[in-house]
Amino acid sequence: MTLLNPTWTALLYLAAAACFILALKGLNSPRTARRGNLIGALGALLAVVTVFVSVKLDNIPWILGAIAVGSGVAAPVARRVQMTQMPQLVALFNGVGGGAAALVALLELSHSDDPWVRLAIVFTLLVGAVSFAGSGVTFAKLQGLMTTRPVTFPGLPALMALVLLAAVGAGVVVMLNGSLVLALTLLVLGLAAGILLVLPVGGADVPIVISLLNAFTGLAVAASGLVLGNVLLVVAGTLVGASGTILTRAMAAAMGRSVAGIMFGAFKGGSTAGSTAVSERPVRSSSAEDVAVLLGYAQRVIIVPGYGLAVAQGQHTAAELALALEARGIDVDFAIHPVAGRMPGHMNVLLAEANVPYESLKEMSDINSDFRTADVALVVGANDVVNPAAKTTSGSPIYGMPILEVADARQVVFLKRSMRPGFAGIENELLYEPQTTLLFGDAKDSLTKVLGAVKAL
Partner 1 sequence: MDGMSLLTITVLAVFVGFEVVSKVSSTLHTPLMSGANAIHGIILVGAIIVAGQAADPWVLAVALLAVVLATANLVGGFVVTDRMLEMFRGRQRPASKVDAVEPAEERRP
CB 78, min distance to partner 1, A: 4
Count of residues making up the chain: 457
Q: Check if 384 is active-site.
A: yes
Q: Residue 58 corresponds to which amino acid?
A: D
Q: Which residues of 125-134 are buried (b: 16+ CB within 10 A; e: fewer)?
A: bbbbbbbbbb
Closer residue to partner 1 (CB): 385 or 413: 385
Task: Give, in degrees to the nearest 5, the angle at Cα 174 between 171 and 177.
Answer: 150
Pairing of the two strands 376-380 and 436-440: unpaired
Name the strand (E) or helix (H) holding 331.
strand 331-336
Q: Cα separation of 397 and 269, whole Å?
A: 11
Where does 115-268 have alpha helices with state H? 115-143, 156-177, 180-198, 206-228, 231-254, 259-268
CB 283, min distance to partner 1, A: 32
Closer residue to partner 1 (CB): 20 or 414: 20
Question: Are 404 and 391 a contacting pair, CB within 8 Å?
Answer: no
Closer residue to partner 1 (CB): 161 or 327: 327
Close Cβ partners of 206 (under 8 Å, ≥ 6 residues apart): 87, 138, 141, 142, 148, 342
Closer residue to partner 1 (CB): 40 or 171: 40
CB 300, min distance to partner 1, A: 18
Closer residue to partner 1 (CB): 166 or 231: 231
Task: Measure Cα distances from 333 to 133, 247, 360, 366, 377 in Å.
Answer: 41, 28, 5, 11, 10
Name the strand (E) or helix (H) holding 378.
strand 376-380
**Candidates 205, 333, 370, 384; catalytic one:** 384
Task: Measure Cα distances from 166 to 95, 134, 178, 375, 432 in Å.
Answer: 23, 18, 16, 60, 51
Closer residue to partner 1 (CB): 160 or 401: 401
The residue among 195, 309, 233 whose CA lies nearest residue 20 is 233
Alpha-carbon 447 to chain mean position: 27
CB 112, min distance to partner 1, A: 12
CB 58, min distance to partner 1, A: 6
CB 129, min distance to partner 1, A: 13
Active site residues: 384
